Structure 1
Amino acid sequence: MPDAAPAITSFRGEFRDFIGFVRRPHFTPRLPGRHAGCNSWQADWLPALSLRRMLRWALFLWLVNIVFLGPIALAAAGIGGAEHRLDFTNIPWLQALIWAPIVEELVFRYGLRRPAQAFWVVPAGAIALFSGPTWAAVVLVAVIVLLCWWMGTLPAGRFAGALPWRMRQAYQARFFWAFHGSCLLFAGMHLHNFALNSTPYWLMPLLVLPQWLTGMVLGWLRVRRGIGASMLLHGLFNGGPLLIVWLVLRFVPDPTSLGM
């Protein structure tokens, strides 16, 4: 396992690191670029990463999904008769930009670097995820985040949310499965966005190919930069397509006028 992070300053260098990480996921180290004097909690929630770099990653995901994976998903939906549940005339902005990035990152990716805390963060976050943004669920998520913050400020040790040494070694040895398993679960969860109708099982993975790729990028970013970075990119990624839909509905209320 590598001892120190490579000196990566360009998007191209980060992209190469992402490809290598997907092939051989590893628990450590983080990419360089922390704020001077910051502790592990600050590095996790407040990563030193520019908005411009985050936008470049969002643009990469949008392009790949629009040009390659999106058409495959649409073709699979057409063959299987699946229909998207999203009501494009009532776009859930707050849910897409704030709620989903926070809750889904807590459930699917926070525990990648905090495996001991995953034992309580994942089930509690899953309750909030499947409950939706009700007041009770919002309070539950706020409590989860505050507890994660508080535990991150404690000295290293079991009470601060660290695994015993032998369990930590076993987790690191199986991190490949933890990482890719979280990506597959994240993608599979988005099947709920569809009314599947008579879609055969073998077509279902194709419906969520965009979420699978996005989950890998978010997982890499969570491990290498921090949970704050993955939450921010998650929100940016969700916002782009919804903004396009909103603009079309606002300025082209009748798409048939454009021959669509």
Structure 2
Amino acid sequence: MDAATTSLAPANSTRGEWARFGAFLKRPTLPARAPLPRLASLVAILRLMLLDFAMMSVLLGTAAAVMATGVSLPQTALAGMEIGAGIVFAVVVIAPLGEEIAFRSWLSGRPGHLLGLLAAIPAALLAAAAMTLLVEGSLAQIWSTALVAIGTAAVATCAVVVWLRRHNAMGWFARLFPALFWLSTLAFSLVHLFNFPADQLAMALPLVLPQFVIGAILGYTRVTYGLWASILLHALHNGAFISLVLLASSAG
């Protein structure tokens, strides 16, 4: 049975978009179908990117203040690693595609997207293999494995989604959406604990707060503007992060 879903009022300014996001967090509600890609959606992504940057600046400033007191924080997997084209590609392209499919593609509650996620699992395994090759393999292996993963995910997901494209969100999913939204956001943040050494996970727990924040923003973006929008915003977020890492390493 299809769900009766609602939409929030459209935002006409950056402040309006941020207020809309705040209202969504207070009461996560599954909107009606996200619109097709359009200029207004791109503008909304830019507004949400500004919100992301503002919140990340606060969190980074807080971390810097803590470190200034002499507290030593766990290092991420990127610390001390030589960042080449393969790692940049994985961070900016593979990670946004894989993580958005895994954690947010199904948040629409539509049967096509839920089944599409299952169809994309083999591609996700190939993407994980590509990430492993970043450490153990050659650049050619990385690119070939990544392209196979992306292609498999695209074909499998699109086939299922097109097949069930007319179905709206399922009623039970719309009713459980608030809990599912927060579970998705929490799972997205906690999976990033694997970026830290296993013996420092307790200390690293506060360090995945940025992933929890951006996960909430991406979840809102996905159900409001579409999966393509959350993938794009995720890529912009990761691109900004890896750019800061590269700048810091070059300055050092």
Specify the TM-score bucket, using the shorter chain as the normaliser. Answer: 0.7 to 0.9
Matched, 1:6 2:2: no
TM-score under structure 2 length normalisation: 0.77
Distance 2:240 2:214 in 1: 13
Q: Residue 90 of structure 1 aligns with which residue?
A: 83
The equivalences for 1:79-158 within 5 A come to: 82-86=74-78, 87=80, 89-91=82-84, 92-116=87-111, 117-119=113-115, 120-121=118-119, 123-124=121-122, 126-133=124-131, 134=142, 135-136=144-145, 138-154=147-163, 156=165
Q: Contact conserved, 1:81 with 1:199, CA < 8 A, in 2?
A: no
Deviations 1:147-199 (A, max 9, x none): 33334444645xxxx48x8xx21111111111111101110111111124344
Structure 1 residues 169, 145: closer, same or farther in 2, change over 3 A? same
Distance 1:154 1:47 in 2: 24
Question: SS of the counterpart of 2:199?
Answer: coil
The equivalences for 1:123-202 within 5 A come to: 123-124=121-122, 126-133=124-131, 134=142, 135-136=144-145, 138-154=147-163, 156=165, 162=167, 168-200=170-202
Question: SS of the counterpart of 2:154?
Answer: helix
Structure 1 residues 155, 248: closer, same or farther in 2, change over 3 A? closer
Q: Residue 139 of structure 2 aligns with which residue?
A: none
Deviations 1:51-99 (A, max 9, x none): 55433322322231232366349959x8576221104531521111111
Q: Contact conserved, 1:26 with 1:175, CA < 8 A, in 2?
A: yes
Distance 1:7 1:53 in 2: 10
Structure 1 unaligned segments of length 5 or more: list them. 35-42, 256-260
Distance 1:74 1:227 in 2: 36
Letter in 2 for 1:150: A
| Equivalences, count | 230
Letter in 1 for 2:82: T
Question: SS of the counterpart of 1:83?
Answer: coil
More helix by share: 2
Q: Residue 217 of structure 1 aligns with which residue?
A: 217
Q: Contact conserved, 2:123 with 2:150, CA < 8 A, in 1?
A: yes
Distance 1:7 1:48 in 2: 14
TM-score under structure 1 length normalisation: 0.74
Q: Which moved more, 1:237-246 or 1:63-72?
A: 63-72
Distance 1:138 1:177 in 2: 34
Structure 1 residues 82, 172: closer, same or farther in 2, change over 3 A? same
Q: Residue 241 of structure 2 aligns with which residue?
A: 241
Distance 2:66 2:124 in 1: 31
Deviations 1:92-139 (A, max 9, x none): 211111111111100000011155333414633542443235434532
Structure 1 residues 193, 74: closer, same or farther in 2, change over 3 A? farther
Distance 1:114 1:108 in 2: 13
Distance 1:122 1:108 in 2: 12
Kindly report the root-mean-square deviation, in angstroms, between the aligned alpha carbons of the 2 structures: 3.0
Structure 1 residue 18 displacement after superposition: 0.9
Q: Contact conserved, 2:5 with 2:174, CA < 8 A, in 1?
A: no
| 1:68 counterpart (56, 59, 62) | 59
Letter in 1 for 2:77: R
Distance 2:238 2:190 in 1: 17
Q: Contact conserved, 1:5 with 1:29, CA < 8 A, in 2?
A: no
